[in-house]
Amino acid sequence: MFCYQCEQTAQGTGCTTIGVCGKTDETATLQDLLVHAAKGIAMYAHRGRVLGVRDAAIDGFVLDALFTTVTNVNFDPQRLAALLHEAAQTRDRARRLYETACAGSGLSAEVLDGPAAWVPADDREGLLAQGRAVGIQARIAALGADLAGMQELLTYGLKGAAAYAVHARTLGREDEAVSAFLHEALDALTTAVPDAVSLLALNLKCGEIGLKVLELLDGAHTGTFGAPQPTPVMMGHRPGKAILISGHDLQDLQALLRQTAGTGIDVYTHGEMLPAHGYPELRAHPHLAGHFGGAWMRQKAEFAQFPGAILMTTNCLQQPQPAYRDRLFTCGLVAWPGIPHIVDRDFRPVIEAALAAPGFASASPERSHLVGFGHAAVLSIADKVINAVRTGAIKRFVLIGGCDGAEVGRNYYTELAETMPRDWMVLTLGCGKFRVIGSDLGEVAGLPRLLDMGQCNDAFSAIRVAAALADAFGVGLNELPLDLVVSWYEQKAVLVLLTLLHLGVRNIRLGPKLPAFVTPAVLDVLVERFAIRPIGTVADDLALMGAAA
């Protein structure tokens, strides 16, 4: 195997035996083949769309296929093999639509090869051989590390866009432009001799689509659950039966809350589900009791300590441990061999497991965290914030956003928040928040110094607030007293980065280390155009930020 799509890839170069995430060579290889199959579908779907035909089921399958290959989602080779055979059927359907459109327009249909001509092998070994033939190493050998890395940067941005689009689709929000670009870009990735200029342009266009899909998801969340409101969340537990829900999918949480109403079971969030407490429609359920634990990578220890059933939605799954695997469930696209999978949000097995488990015998010490500072909440106090900046009460804003992880060096973000001047305000977004929410940062200008803006899925909030502040001060985004310090782990973070680059944002600090797929030559381009820089020491970075203040 060879995989370097996440920040924690082995030795900073690539996982070659087993993924740091826990995926096997078999899983990684089948995922590579599924991306290849999605390209084949897109080759026909893109050409069909040019002729005015599309199929929502085809669009949806490509979104699901890409999201399935995001880090910490699907680890089950059997399900991946089934998806590959479904991909071939979907590709054939896309081909027939394209050929029919050509016939109706009096055109000759192209005879496509490459991914469009792929036929799945009859057995698992054959599929694995096919996957190795189209994997990353094969493309590096054919194209060189620079071009292959730029292709992977785009591929990971597409995976991130697909993940956010799946979240939005779950809540009934879709945008034809998103699938149109995904198919266009996947088709472009089949070009035999790609060039760096075109690939860079496609990466920036992926960022443009990223902005669209993030706005789409924001509308889906606020339109369904209401605009987040500042809300204190109990960071602990109370006596009683319990279910822990982790991942990102808020509709899964809403369905679980409805099905557990009146059962005497309390529901606790974990990881990126923490911001859910700020949504009025979710908070209205009194048995949404609180938040248990920290970021996703601590789940092996934390799930073992949780005395109830556990539901994993979307990504963030780690290898289940014996201490809790008999009360762990997956749903949606998430899968691990041997772990029960919930279909159609019928959570009765989860409820039964929670009732059979002991639950909490006593309450934890009292502690709370304030969530709910989405763009509506922040912009409602914009006048106060703007006045504080103009009077000098607030000197600077630092957004500590992105993904948390186990990699050494992430204590940088904690130290940064605790060390910066007291008249600087901290915004946080994504599970990187768990590096700072345990710190008592106090207040500035009568406001909390730490504003929790939500999940990584809520990145649009930060963009919306930054744009509003820039407009209020009559400056560009890069002239704001704002520093972006981004931690990254997986492909949704790549999409957010491309979105920021599309918006022309410069001087983003990225860490704890730079992506392995970004070669020195590609990094030189990003530094020249966007001044992207790796994080340094806290002291050095604060000095540079202060010099700009």
CB atoms within 10 A of CB 275: 31
Cβ proximity of 246 and 312 under 8 Å: yes
DSSP code, position 152: H
What's the start-to-end Cα distance of the chain, in Å?
A: 47
Angstrom distance (rounded) from CA 107 to CA 385 = 60
Instruction: Quote the radius of gyration of the chain (alpha carbons, Å).
Output: 23
Fold (CATH) for 231-356: Rossmann fold (3.40.50)
| Bond into 512 cis (ω within 30) | yes
Residues 6+ away with beta carbon under 8 Å from 61: 41, 86, 87, 90
Cβ proximity of 34 and 87 under 8 Å: yes
Tokens 């959570």 found at? 347
Residues 6+ away with beta carbon under 8 Å from 4: 13, 14, 15, 136, 152, 515, 516, 517
pLDDT digits (tens, 9 = 90+) for 164-181: 999 999 999 999 999 999
User: Helix 196-225 vs helix 491-502: angle between axes, to the nearest 10 degrees?
Assistant: 100
Q: Which of 251, 256, 290 is nearest to 274 (CA)?
A: 290
pLDDT number for residue 409: 87
Tell whether the model's pLDDT for residue 48 goes beyond 90.
yes
CB atoms within 10 A of CB 376: 17
pLDDT number for residue 407: 80
Angstrom distance (rounded) from CA 377 to CA 384 = 12
pLDDT digits (tens, 9 = 90+) for 343-395: 999 999 999 999 999 999 999 999 999 999 999 999 999 999 999 999 999 99
Q: How far is CA 68 from CA 2, 19, 76, 433, in A?
A: 17, 16, 10, 25
How far from the centroid of its chain's Cα atoms is residue 86's Cα? Answer: 25
Half-sphere exposure of 120 (CA within 13 A, CB side): 21
Average pLDDT over residues 97-124: 97
Structure tokens at 516: 């392995």
Residues of the chain with CATH 3.40.50.2030: 231-356, 373-548
CATH number, domain 10-224, options 3.40.50.620, 3.40.50.300, 1.20.1270.20, 3.40.1380.10: 1.20.1270.20
Q: How far is CA 547 from CA 134, 483, 544, in A?
A: 48, 12, 5
Tell whether the model's pLDDT for residue 159 goes beyond 80.
yes
Average pLDDT over residues 268-280: 97
pLDDT digits (tens, 9 = 90+) for 173-226: 999 999 999 999 999 999 999 999 999 999 999 999 999 999 999 999 999 999
Torsion of CA 246, 239, 323, 73, to 10 degrees: -10
Tell whether the model's pLDDT for residue 315 goes beyond 80.
yes
CB atoms within 10 A of CB 148: 20
pLDDT number for residue 546: 87
Q: What pTM did the predictor assign?
A: 0.97
Residues 6+ away with beta carbon under 8 Å from 113: none
pLDDT number for residue 549: 61
pLDDT digits (tens, 9 = 90+) for 525-537: 999 999 999 999 9
Tell whether the model's pLDDT for residue 25 goes beyond 70.
yes
pLDDT number for residue 547: 80
Q: Which of 259, 324, 254, 265 is nearest to 289 (CA)?
A: 265
State in words which class domain 373-548 has.
alpha beta
Q: Where does the pLDDT of residue 313 fall: very low under 50, low under 70, confident under 90, or very high at 90 and above?
A: very high
Average pLDDT over residues 68-84: 98
How far from the centroid of its chain's Cα atoms is residue 412's Cα? Answer: 22
Structure tokens at 275: 């911001």
Angstrom distance (rounded) from CA 455 to CA 39 = 29
Residues 6+ away with beta carbon under 8 Å from 291: 233, 234, 235, 236, 268, 269, 270, 273, 274, 277, 369
How far from the centroid of its chain's Cα atoms is residue 249's Cα? Answer: 11
β-bridge partners, 74:
335
Average pLDDT over residues 337-343: 98
Max CA pair span of the chain: 74
Average pLDDT over residues 507-520: 95
Under DSSP, is residue 120 helix (H, G, I), strand (E, B) or coil?
coil
Torsion of CA 86, 89, 90, 96, to 10 degrees: 180
Average pLDDT over residues 159-165: 98
Q: How far is CA 429 from CA 374, 411, 448, 486, in A?
A: 10, 16, 15, 9
Q: Where does the pLDDT of residue 406 fall: very low under 50, low under 70, confident under 90, or very high at 90 and above?
A: confident
Residues of the chain with CATH 1.20.1270.20: 10-224
Phi, psi at residue 470, to the nearest 5°? -60, -40
Structure tokens at 180: 């149109």
Structure tokens at 351: 């409820």
β-bridge partners, 486:
401, 510
Report the amino acid identity of residue 356: A
How far from the centroid of its chain's Cα atoms is residue 449's Cα? Answer: 26
Residues 6+ away with beta carbon under 8 Å from 357: 241, 242, 307, 308, 309, 327
